[in-house]
Amino acid sequence: MRQRMSGKSHIYDKRGNMKVLSGNHAAAYGVKLSRPDVIAAYPITPQTPIIEKLSEFIENGELDARFIRVESEHSAMAASIGAASVGARTYTATSSQGLLYMYEVCWWAAGARLPVVMGVVTRAIGPPWSIWTDHNDFLTLRDSGWILLFASDSQEILDMTIQAYKIAEELCLPVAIGWDAFLASHTAEPVIVPNQEDVDKFLPDKRPWPHILNIENPFSSGNIAFPGEYMELRYDIWRGLRSYRVSGYYIWPR
């Protein structure tokens, strides 16, 4: 996360480049620096510029990732779940009704302990139709098992996106980063984009998640969980969240 103390801003100046970015493009740069394997998304205002920018990175050869053009937000999360299940680093993004449409599979991502990362550009839920910000879409994830982060400006959006991969892969839980529609999402401001080598040091190599994926000795709990088993699985998610302790800001090494 960005240090707001002006006396410490030079730390980032030595390790990155200054760019003028909207919040949505800052998110795209954060994803690019995190080196995902799979990006699956469906366009919705005001999230679309994130995915457009990522598609440019892939087309230009700046990002080595598979871009999946799905037919709905539900499919975007389903594709992310499939990719994360075999150890791929994934990303998707949505807003408002789009998040509600993928809501069912968001619970599958959390219950399966998959480290999916998602950007949520918060937007009012209709009716009536509105493209301006409201947090009710983001808050629907509150009890699902997702870790929720909220950014206030472009720098925090970029930083939190990178941090989200670190947190998700250590806890084996999905992480959503939210920011306000047309306030943070489309406002352009100076952003320090860290060097790729610094982010590479901060994030681990992409690998199957050892807590949940055992390719050599696969197993399953069956197609249904009885009440006692279900309670234990949900409690284990809660314990994972409670046990996670961070000293100060969770940022890449200086």
- Taking a C-beta distance cutoff of 8 angstroms, is the pair 151, 23 a contact? yes
Does the pLDDT at position 17 exceed 90? yes
- Taking a C-beta distance cutoff of 8 angstroms, is the pair 91, 31 a contact? yes
The confidence score (pLDDT) of residue 242 equals 79
Q: Structure tokens of 2?
A: 């960005």
Q: Structure tokens of 176?
A: 């959503």
The confidence score (pLDDT) of residue 228 equals 85
The confidence score (pLDDT) of residue 230 equals 87
Which CATH class, in words, describes the domain spanning 9-243? alpha beta
Domain spans, the chain: 9-243
Residue-wise DSSP of 88-153: --EEEEE-HHHHHHTHHHHHHHHHTT---EEEEEE-PPSSSP--S--SHHHHTTTTTT-EEEE-SS
What confidence category does residue 4 fall into, taking pLDDT thresholds of 50, 70 and 90?
A: very low
Does the pLDDT at position 222 exceed 80? no
Q: What is the mean pLDDT of residues 165-188?
A: 95
> pLDDT digit string (tens) for 93-113?
999 999 999 999 999 999 999
